[in-house]
Amino acid sequence: MGALGNPEGSREQLESGAGRRPKCFSLHLGILPLTVFLLVFFGYGFLSQRSQKSREPGAVTRMVYAQPKVLTPSREDVLVLTPWLAPIIWEGTFNIDILNEQFRLLNTTIGLTVFAIKKYVVFLKLFLETAEQHFMVGHKVIYYVFTDRPAEVPQVPLGAGRKLVVLTVRNYSRWQDVSMHRMEMISNFSERRFLQEVDYLVCADVDMKFQDHVGVEILSALFGTLHPGFYRSSREAFTYERRPKSRAYIPWDKGDFYYMGAFFGGSVVEVYHLTKACHQAIVEDKANGIEAVWHDESHLNKYLLYHKPTKVLSPEYMWDQQLLGWPSIMKKLRYVTVPKNHQAIRNR
- 297 is annotated as an active-site residue: yes
241, 247, 251, 256 alpha-carbon torsion, rounded to 10°: -80
Q: Are strands 140-147 and 109-116 parallel, antiparallel or unpaired?
A: parallel
Q: Distance (Å, rounded) from C-alpha 315 to C-alpha 317? A: 5
Q: Distance (Å, rounded) from C-alpha 97 to C-alpha 91? A: 14
Helix runs in the chain, H state only: 7-16, 23-54, 96-105, 124-134, 175-189, 195-197, 268-287, 295-306, 321-324, 342-346
Edge-to-edge strand list for the sheet holding 109-116: 88-89, 311-313, 222-225, 263-267, 200-204, 109-116, 140-147, 162-168
Question: Could you tell me how many helices (H) and strands (E) the chain has, helices first?
Answer: 10, 10
Decide if 101 contacts 61 (C-beta within 8 A). Answer: yes
Decide if 155 contacts 178 (C-beta within 8 A). Answer: no
Q: What is the DSSP string of 50-105?
A: HHHHHSPTTPPPP---PPP-TTS-S-SSS--B-TTS-BEE-TTS--HHHHHHHHHH
* 88 strand-pairing partners: 312
Among residues 184, 241, 270, 297, which one is catalytic?
Answer: 297
Q: Distance (Å, rounded) from C-alpha 101 to C-alpha 94? A: 13
- What lies within 8 Å, CB to CB, of 326 at 6+ separation is 333
Q: Distance (Å, rounded) from C-alpha 310 to C-alpha 88? A: 9
Closest CA to 169 of 178, 180, 161, 160: 178
Catalytic residues: 297
